[in-house]
């Protein structure tokens, strides 16, 4: 897809969202099931069933997916798609690219070993390695717009309002 095709595809969508802002608000959903066997949660991905479990650093077997890894994978996926979309719109030629995310966790927090240790990622680093002939000013703009429009990056960065409920069924 080139820049013209991308603009043509997105133009009617953008126009609808401008004329009817409420139509742009969509609720995405994820579901998982917890069963009696093992410490795991089966997550419906829409394409397959992913089984998440404990990370080996917390006693897991390593056979199940780690939700922390899945968070980083979601960041990489979103950032990669956003980068490619923005590069297409800006007509920045990308021969190849690699998107990497890594995050630092102190597992003492999630295991309750140290009440002062944080639960969750203390730091996440996102990196793009791109093979391109574009000038540096175009790359700077590409990075700035990728950060601005990447949903997962902005969600992690800005911390949305969260709520949690539990009900007996």
Give the per-residue pLDDT at 75: 97
Amino acid 46: pLDDT: 79
Give the DSSP H or E segment for 157. helix 151-158
Question: What's the rounded Cα separation, in Å, for the pair 161 and 46?
Answer: 25
Flag residues of the chain having pLDDT under 70.
Answer: none
What local confidence, expressed as pLDDT, does residue 138 receive? 97
Place of tokens 């990669």: 80
Phi, psi (5° rounding) for residue 121? Answer: -70, 130
pTM of the predicted protein model = 0.90
pLDDT at 31: 87
What are the residues facing 41 on neighbouring strands?
52
pLDDT of residue 18: 95
Q: How far apart are the two ends of the chain, measured CA to CA in Å?
A: 48
Q: What is the pLDDT of residue 30?
A: 86
């Amino acid at each position: 897809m080139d820049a013209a095709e991308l603009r043509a595809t997105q133009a009617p969508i953008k126009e609808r969202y401008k004329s009817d802002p409420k139509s742009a608000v969509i609720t995405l959903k994820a579901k998982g099931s917890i069963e009696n066997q093992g410490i795991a949660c089966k997550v419906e991905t829409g394409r397959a069933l992913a089984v998440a479990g404990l990370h080996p650093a917390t006693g897991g077997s390593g056979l199940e997916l780690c939700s922390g890894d899945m968070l980083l994978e979601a960041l990489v996926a979103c950032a990669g798609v956003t980068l490619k979309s923005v590069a297409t719109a800006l007509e920045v030629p990308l021969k190849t690219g690699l998107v990497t995310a890594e995050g630092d966790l102190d597992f003492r927090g999630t295991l309750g070993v140290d009440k002062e240790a944080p639960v969750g990622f203390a730091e996440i680093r996102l990196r793009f390695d791109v093979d391109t002939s574009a000038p540096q000013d175009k790359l700077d703009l590409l990075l700035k717009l990728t950060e601005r429009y990447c949903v997962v990056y902005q969600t992690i960065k800005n911390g949305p309002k969260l709520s949690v409920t539990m009900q007996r069924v």
